[in-house]
Structure 1
Amino acid sequence: MFEGVLPAIITPFRRNSAMDVDLEGLRSNIEFLIGQGVHGIVPCGSTGESATLSFEEHDRVISETIDVVNGRVPVLAGTGSNNTAEAVALTKNAKELGADGVLVISPYYNKPNRSGLVKHYTILADLDIPVVMYNVPGRTGQNLLPDMVIELASHPNIVGIKEASGDIGQVSRIIEGTLDEDFLVISGDDAITLPMLAIGGAGVMSVAANVEPGR
């Protein structure tokens, strides 16, 4: 479901005193991207400034995205947090709003141990919605190592990983170790998308695609 080019979309804001989310701009951006042939839309990821959005803004962006997309491509909603309870609340809301799946970043700043990371992702996957893990150690301070990813891939609702570690060797081990699972390894870094595709990657969650989705 989450293969090909999936732009991690920006969250536009109005230049008013309240700095409200610019829903008209959001709709326009999404229509442009779908018109250019992208294969999915990812709201409220790192590029969408999810860590700085209020719960209300977060839900509004996801709701508006789902409404505009209207089933034309999958919507993978970012619902990560460094607080598991907050991530659960965001994930439940995204599920109720009709997201096709959720993108979940590892808890940042807190640096949970291996057991804590496994529990965090398992709790979210048990909410019965497709979960794509997000490994970006440069932002979280935690690297989801291949053995942990392979273990988590056995959960029926953990369907993939957005890999932005920059380590092609690590990506290769994850792909090799999950061949028996229905599991996608997706690039989270435009610069290494080509080598990832060459070793079996499923696509890219792209920042650059916001500007040049057709390339």
Structure 2
Amino acid sequence: MLSEHQIQGIFVPIVTPFLPSGELDLASFERMVTQLQTHDIQGIVLNGTTGESPTVAWEEVSTLMQSMTAITKNRPGQEPVRGSDQNSMPIIVGVGTNDTRASARRAEMAGSMGADAVLVVTPYYSRPSQEGIVAHYEQIAKVGVPVLAYEIPSRTGVRVDVSTMRRILDIDGVIGLKDSTGSTDFVSALTASGNSKPVLCGEDRLFHAMLCQGASGGMLASAHVETDSFLEVYRLATEGRYSESLNTFNRLLPLIELLFRESNPAPIKWLLKQQGLLASDTLRLPMTPITAGLQADLGQLLAEGPYVGK
């Protein structure tokens, strides 16, 4: 199981590959995970928003988890990573819904499948009160699997106050936060208030800025394709070399901007297909493939580099 001090560095929220028929593509999944584990990332996130969690059945999550566990049990050429199994890459599973009981059941099942932590989004659509949101996290944390809170108001329809988030982070079993609020204000306010639990940047374009404001790392979809460059941004920042970190990050910005010009994860899937990691860029409706214009722009970036397509 993950602990607070292990919520640092780069976590990659992995896409869910599908065959053109719409079924899981386990061969592509295994190829992608195998490639990611050659990098010094801190962990992989399964069944997050980037993994198209709204359209992935829990039985499919179980299948993917079995496959991932088999692949990541040993990382050739890498030092042991700090998960529950010292030879395994930590795996975080997205379990959050707007039904507290269902989320708690999923957290329990994820733990039984070997998840090192679970990612729990602020309850969406229902627009609960701040008290309801705190109670939601309290109930899920009681399951006993470490919880990462996930705040993304642009998708949930409700915004958690800083004071409420401090209460959530004080819950036993909540080990940190993924901050996708869209600015650095939230992490800055938490840092200023003396929050002692780690905050991961969930907004790729704000990664460097959040590191400067106290974030402990990032959970970044873009790190699928330029993993070592994102790791370099993080390493330089942790060494206090913020100017060099910013220079490296600025070279990544054109890639980040293109990967989020249209809805995630469609652009990332297209790019991974071009790189031979995915057999197909198929998405499940209502998600659709990227436009021809974005394909052209990504293709040009892929050809030019210097980072993309190395």
TM over 0.5: yes
Alpha-carbon offset, residue 173 of structure 1: 1.1
Give the distance between the partners of 2:18 and 2:215, measured in 1 at CA.
33
- CA separation in 2, counterparts of 1:73 and 1:178? 30
Which residue of structure 2 lines up, in the alignment, with residue 209 of structure 1?
223
Letter in 2 for 1:26: F
Contact 1:164 1:187 in 2 (8 A): yes
Q: Secondary structure at the match of 1:120?
A: helix
1:58 paired residue number: 61
User: CA RMSD of the aligned region, Å?
Assistant: 1.3
Structure 2 counterpart of 1:177, one-letter code: S
Which residue does the alignment assign to 1:187? 201
Aligned to 1:84: 100
Match 2:27 to one of 24, 27, 45: 24
Structure 1 residues 96-121: Cα deviation after superposition (integer angstroms, max 9, x where no partner):
01111001111111111111111111
For 1:62 and 1:144, how far apart are their aligned partners in 2? 30
What is the SS of the residue equivalent to 1:35? coil
Q: 1:167-192 deviations in whole A, cap 9, x for unaligned? A: 3122111123344x3x1100001100
Q: Distance in 2 between matches of 1:80 and 1:168?
A: 24
| Residue number among 137, 152, 155 corresponding to 2:153 in the alignment | 137
CA contact (8 A) 1:77 1:103 kept: yes
**CA distance, structure 1, for counterparts of residue 68 and residue 160 of structure 2:** 29
Give the letter aligned to residue 8 of structure 1.
P
TM-score (norm 2): 0.65
Q: Distance in 1 between matches of 2:160 and 2:65?
A: 26
Larger Rg over CA atoms: 2
The counterpart of 1:154, out of the listed 163, 166, 170, is 170
Asked if structure 2 preserves the Cα contact closer than 8 Å seen for 1:153 and 1:178, the reply is no
Contact preservation (8 Å) 1:8, 1:205: yes
Partner of 1:7: 12
1:69 aligns with 2:83: no
Identity among equivalent pairs (%): 30
CA contact (8 A) 2:44 2:90 kept: yes
What's the CA shift for 1:3?
1.3
Q: Give me the TM-score of the superposition, normalised by structure 1.
A: 0.93
**Matched residue, 1:40:** 43
| Alignment of 1:98 onto 2:114 | yes
Gaps of at least 5 residues in structure 2 are: 1-5, 74-86, 230-310
* Greater share of helix: 2
Distance, in Å, in 1 between the alignment partners of 2:37 and 2:24 is 20
Q: Give, as a single letter, the amino acid of the residue that structure 1 aligns with 2:19.
A: R
Q: How many equivalent pairs are there?
A: 211
Q: 1:63, 1:91 → 2: CA distance?
A: 16
Report if aligned partners of 1:27, 1:64 keep a CA contact under 8 Å in 2.
Answer: yes
One-letter amino acid matched to 2:72? V
- How far 1:2 sits from its partner (Å)? 2.4
For 1:143, the aligned partner's letter is R
Which runs of structure 1 show a deviation greater than 4 angstroms over 4 or more consecutive aligned residues? none
Tell me the CA shift for residue 156 of structure 1.
2.1
* Secondary structure class of the residue paired with 2:215: coil
Gaps of 5+ in 1: none
